[in-house]
Structure 1
Amino acid sequence: MFMDIFSSFDDHNSVFLGVYVLMWMSSFILIFISVMMYWIGPSRWSLFLNYLQSTISSLVKVATGKYLGWFSVSMVSLFLMLLFLNLCSLISYVFGETSHLAITLSLSLPFWLSLIISGSVHDPQKVVASLLPSGAPSALNPFLILIETVSVGVRPLILALRLGANLTAGHIVMAIIGGFLESAILSCSSSMLICSLFEAFYTIFEFGICFIQAYIFVLLLVLYSDDHPISFH
């Protein structure tokens, strides 16, 4: 039994110790279903994965990331992984990895660093020059460089906070509604039907949030790739 709604995000809670098996089973099921693309006829699951892959690939094709050979495959893999983790966090008593800053920051920071390091190695002068907007007054140059440096430096933190905060807020709301629904069921209250309908519709809404947040995370990384100096060639 949870002491409060925030204990549902504690990975050391004893409730989660017996359900880690469910996470492993879900992973193996996902791998098993993924091999359906090698069957004679395409399955609905393979068509769905192909649609997601083409959607993310189309984002990269209109950005500078298309000149980076690894970028398209990385973004497709990242999107599918985030989508799977987000959907798994909707399962009851399953620890939501993407709700925590440690996980989201470990995903955003390496990709951001790879773009920064790759750009610095490719053309360091253009990376430094991009910190100063063209046509700016010379008196404001130190302040503009400082502001632009800070804005670039906080990008991985913004990515991590955006993903974690949105999913955490959704889980808290679901926990609150579930608490009201439990009380209504135990007391045989007339509000039981209303709480049940609201919980059902909000769960469907959270499914959409899982897709949208994974998409936005990848979209922002694709947009950040436009600052790569290879785009100036």
Structure 2
Amino acid sequence: MMTNLFSVFDPTSSILALPLNWLSTFLGMLFIPSLYWIMPSRWSLFWSKVTETLHKEFKTLLGPAHPGSTIIFVSLFSLIVFNNFLGLLPYVFTSTSHLVMTLSLALPLWFAFMLFGWINHTQHMFAHLVPQGTPSALMPFMVLIETISNVIRPGTLAVRLAANMIAGHLLLTLLGSTGPSLSTTLVSLLILSQILLLILESAVAIIQSYVFAVLSTLYAGEVT
């Protein structure tokens, strides 16, 4: 029984008192073996094209300073998009709708970027705190503003992804819970609206994965 609207996000699935919700994070690995057949399938060719396109774009954003670094962000995109799509399936736990998952992705990446930048490019990091052309009187305020904006970056990344995943799921749950009390005509409209919302959520799943990966790439490019 659903005690409140947010109970659909509670990690309650278990067998023998062992929580199983977070195992949904690893369901994306079920798609990996199909990429290693001798004859490539349409799915493997499509995914290879996607990863190749992402590699080229991330390489452009990062620049030539760190060749091979794009694999981190392509893998990050793949992990998030698999979890977003799996969360649209019935009875599958949406791990990316929880701040525990999104912060676990954003915080270590941001901390690693900051650590790398301050150790290897200290002058560049100091210069980045004061944009070019800033008046001398405003420099202390700009340093404060830039510092705050850098510190909140992992939080904004995590909250953006989790909030967008929660919003769509809540809307689907809210509309679906009204089904038993509606007439046949309204139920038909409800089903149509649910299908349209699922299409929208599929687009959001891709867009938010892309935004998370691109912003992480941009943050990495700033410290070099």
Q: TM-score, normalised by structure 2?
A: 0.90
The match for 1:115 is 113
- Contact in 2 for aligned 1:181/1:192 (Cα 8 Å): yes
- Contact in 2 for aligned 1:23/1:94 (Cα 8 Å): no
CA distance in 2, matches of 1:202, 1:61: 34
Using the TM superposition, give the Cα deviation of residue 155 of structure 1 relative to its aligned residue in structure 2, in angstroms: 0.7
Deviations 1:170-210 (A, max 9, x none): 010000111122333xxx54211111111111112111111
Using the TM superposition, give the Cα deviation of residue 63 of structure 1 relative to its aligned residue in structure 2, in angstroms: 1.4
The match for 1:153 is 151
Measured at CA, do residues 39 and 92 of structure 1 come closer, stay the same or move farther in structure 2, by a change above 3 Å? closer
Measured at CA, do residues 21 and 144 of structure 1 come closer, stay the same or move farther in structure 2, by a change above 3 Å? closer
Of the candidates 58, 61, 67, which is equivalent to residue 59 of structure 2?
A: 61
The match for 1:4 is 4
Measured at CA, do residues 66 and 74 of structure 1 come closer, stay the same or move farther in structure 2, by a change above 3 Å? farther
Q: Which runs of 5+ in 2 are unaligned?
A: none
The match for 2:14 is 17
2:53 counterpart SS class? helix
1:215 counterpart SS class? helix
- Contact in 2 for aligned 1:34/1:46 (Cα 8 Å): no
- Contact in 2 for aligned 1:65/1:72 (Cα 8 Å): no
Range that drifts further, 64-73 or 47-56: 64-73
Is residue 225 from structure 1 mapped to residue 220 from structure 2 by the alignment? yes
CA distance in 1, matches of 2:24, 2:106: 27
The match for 1:78 is 76
Is residue 211 from structure 1 mapped to residue 206 from structure 2 by the alignment? yes
The match for 2:166 is 168
Using the TM superposition, give the Cα deviation of residue 27 of structure 1 relative to its aligned residue in structure 2, in angstroms: 4.2
Instruction: Please give the residue correspondences for 1:178-217 in structure 2 after superposition, counting only pairs within 5 Å.
Output: 178-184=176-182, 188-217=183-212
Using the TM superposition, give the Cα deviation of residue 26 of structure 1 relative to its aligned residue in structure 2, in angstroms: 8.7
Deviations 1:195-230 (A, max 9, x none): 1111111112111111111011001111212312x3
Amino acid paired to 2:216? L
CA distance in 2, matches of 1:103, 1:55: 26
Using the TM superposition, give the Cα deviation of residue 79 of structure 1 relative to its aligned residue in structure 2, in angstroms: 0.6
Deviations 1:80-120 (A, max 9, x none): 10011111211223221111112111111111111111111
CA distance in 1, matches of 2:21, 2:215: 31
CA RMSD of aligned residues (A): 2.3
- Contact in 2 for aligned 1:181/1:195 (Cα 8 Å): yes
Measured at CA, do residues 23 and 41 of structure 1 come closer, stay the same or move farther in structure 2, by a change above 3 Å? farther
Q: How many residues in Structure 1 have an aligned counterpart in Structure 2?
A: 222
Measured at CA, do residues 56 and 209 of structure 1 come closer, stay the same or move farther in structure 2, by a change above 3 Å? same
CA distance in 1, matches of 2:24, 2:132: 54
CA distance in 2, matches of 1:108, 1:71: 16
2:177 counterpart SS class? helix
Measured at CA, do residues 65 and 91 of structure 1 come closer, stay the same or move farther in structure 2, by a change above 3 Å? farther
Measured at CA, do residues 142 and 159 of structure 1 come closer, stay the same or move farther in structure 2, by a change above 3 Å? same
The match for 1:138 is 136
Using the TM superposition, give the Cα deviation of residue 23 of structure 1 relative to its aligned residue in structure 2, in angstroms: 7.4
CA distance in 1, matches of 2:22, 2:145: 43
Range that drifts further, 147-156 or 38-47: 38-47
